[in-house]
Structure 1
Amino acid sequence: MKTLRVATYNIHKGVQGLGPRRRLEIHNLGLAVEQLDADIVCLQEVRKVHRREEQYFSRWPEMPQADFLAPEGYEAVYRTNAYTRHGEHGNAMLSRWPVLAHQHEDMSDHRFEQRGLLHSEVVVNGMALHVVVVHLGLIRASRMRQAAQLDSYIAREIPADAPLIVAGDFNDWGERVHRHFAAMGLQTFKPSTNPTFPARLPLVQLDYVYVRGLRPLSVEVPRGRVWWRMSDHLPLIAEFELPA
């Protein structure tokens, strides 16, 4: 295999709508993730458990959402970012390739937002590939501090010559985070050209896949009613050429 297909998707905890009109979308998301046909799927806002929703929805899955969404043959990795009154949620990574190890680092910048990064080491064609899934904060200053923390984490935990993927929901309506990552040596497709939010009428690109040691080939964002009904974000799918 010379090409790696990577998807990133904020699944909005598998539920859409508010109050009594909210609907369970996790089963449709399971079909959608399979249709992405990605080697690596990076997910944000993934429920591990939610006791209130479990009682409300009769078809709430018995297993954590990351395991439920993993297509047959994939390995699911999940770590919690946020603990709430009724449950917890965080980031996940689904991999078609074996996962050697994974770890988590808290990235919470203030008490109103619980954030974190999920770092996994995946073996692709005998090569160690590092995958970091992130969901940055809503406040601009917080995002910049979290970007700096990510920079420090990569320098500390990932060999400088190792291929690297950083994917997720960056919550950046401009290009400040993008410029910071470019200075870190991370590259992606032209920013702000593949809108992913809001899903029904996408205006801004909040979701990205950044890489180091891989060559970007193509990027796409699926559109249409079938997609915007499942989450407030659209998925982003990118393909990269693996090093020889």
Structure 2
Amino acid sequence: MIARPHVSPAPPIGKTFRMASYNIHRWAGVRGGKQYEPERAVAVIDEIGADVLALQEVLRPSVGDDPLRALAEHLGFHLAFVVTRLHKRGELGNAVLSRWPLAGALAIDLSFGRLERRAALAVRVSDGERHLQVAATHLALVDRTRARQVETLLGHPQLADGPTVLVGDMNAWRPTKASRALDDHFTARHHNANWPASFPVVRPVLALDRLYARGVTVVEMGAHISEAARRGSDHLPIVATIQLESQTS
């Protein structure tokens, strides 16, 4: 689940760092379908300059090069990945890439039915002194299923204590039981009461992609908008500045 490609030596986690979430649409760019253009999403990720990155709809082909591992090598980052379902071209799932080491990676099964296979990837980001629990996910389209998934996540022991960020494509296109539960549970809100619109990329009006936090300060958050981002996926990435207080191990 955790891969250790060649990684660059990293300084200690600073008081603030950048974290991003990006649904990369199976490396298919904005057009989707049978398109396969990993370089488009990689160009956007280079623009973002995040220290910790959560990716959804990551396709790892069964034949040919693996763009996810190549991306980790390119960035010099640590990598964790969990499979949510098998795709006709390989494995599809969620990934976390981090400038700092990852440990304790765990797949949390969020599949409540046969139609949508879903999971969350929970992993600890740590430099030995400071640490942050990250859960990266892509929630269901169906409201009732999404509510059960959120209930599972909020009750999971790995997300119960310490500084925690839940991030990903929440499919929160309108207020529901699931979104209200997340708002009530996570108290570290960003500076703006409105979530940044991230979908569809051609005219973003829906705030599907979100970052919830506890035990840290979300200094700012917004969607990353650029010409490259308009071509890289059907979602815009969201980027947040996180402030992590001093900790004792």
TM-score normalised by length of structure 2: 0.85
8 Å Cα contact 1:33-1:69 kept in structure 2: no
Aligned residue number for residue 118 of structure 2: 115
8 Å Cα contact 1:75-1:97 kept in structure 2: yes
1:230 aligns with 2:247: no
Aligned residue number for residue 102 of structure 2: 99
User: How much does 1:179 deviate?
Assistant: 1.9
Distance, in Å, in 2 between the alignment partners of 1:98 and 1:195 is 31
Aligned residue number for residue 40 of structure 1: 52
Aligned residue number for residue 6 of structure 1: 19
What SS class does the counterpart of residue 234 from structure 2 fall into? coil
Distance, in Å, in 2 between the alignment partners of 1:13 and 1:84 is 10
Distance, in Å, in 2 between the alignment partners of 1:67 and 1:178 is 33
Aligned residue number for residue 31 of structure 1: 43
Greater shift, 110-119 or 28-37, is seen at: 28-37
Aligned residue number for residue 181 of structure 1: 182
**Which amino acid in the other structure matches residue 239 of structure 2?**
I
Distance, in Å, in 2 between the alignment partners of 1:124 and 1:5 is 15
User: How much does 1:98 deviate?
Assistant: 1.0
User: How much does 1:227 deviate?
Assistant: 1.0
Distance, in Å, in 2 between the alignment partners of 1:193 and 1:215 is 16
1:127 aligns with 2:130: yes
Distance, in Å, in 1 between the alignment partners of 2:128 and 2:150 is 30
Q: 1:135-154 alignment to 2 at 5 Å?
A: 135-153=138-156
Distance, in Å, in 2 between the alignment partners of 1:6 and 1:223 is 16
Distance, in Å, in 2 between the alignment partners of 1:141 and 1:148 is 11
8 Å Cα contact 2:186-2:212 kept in structure 1: no
**Which amino acid in the other structure matches residue 130 of structure 1?**
Q
**Which amino acid in the other structure matches residue 214 of structure 2?**
R
8 Å Cα contact 1:178-1:191 kept in structure 2: no
Aligned residue number for residue 69 of structure 2: 67
What SS class does the counterpart of residue 182 from structure 1 fall into? helix
8 Å Cα contact 1:29-1:69 kept in structure 2: no
**Which amino acid in the other structure matches residue 180 of structure 1?**
A
Aligned residue number for residue 157 of structure 1: 158
1:15 aligns with 2:28: yes
What SS class does the counterpart of residue 225 from structure 2 fall into? coil
Q: How many residues align?
A: 229
User: How much does 1:25 deviate?
Assistant: 2.4
1:170 aligns with 2:173: no
Cα 1:89–1:157 shift into 2, 3 Å: same
8 Å Cα contact 1:140-1:172 kept in structure 2: no
TM-score normalised by length of structure 1: 0.87
User: How much does 1:140 deviate?
Assistant: 0.8
8 Å Cα contact 1:107-1:146 kept in structure 2: yes
Please list every run of 5 or more consecutive structure 1 residues that lacks an aligned counterpart in the other structure.
55-61
User: How much does 1:199 deviate?
Assistant: 0.6
What SS class does the counterpart of residue 68 from structure 1 fall into? helix
**Structure 2 counterpart of 1:205, from 204, 207, 220:** 207
Identity of aligned residues (%): 29
What SS class does the counterpart of residue 229 from structure 1 fall into? helix
8 Å Cα contact 1:102-1:121 kept in structure 2: yes
Supply the RMSD in Å over aligned alpha carbons. 1.9
**Which amino acid in the other structure matches residue 196 of structure 1?**
S
Greater shift, 89-98 or 180-189, is seen at: 180-189
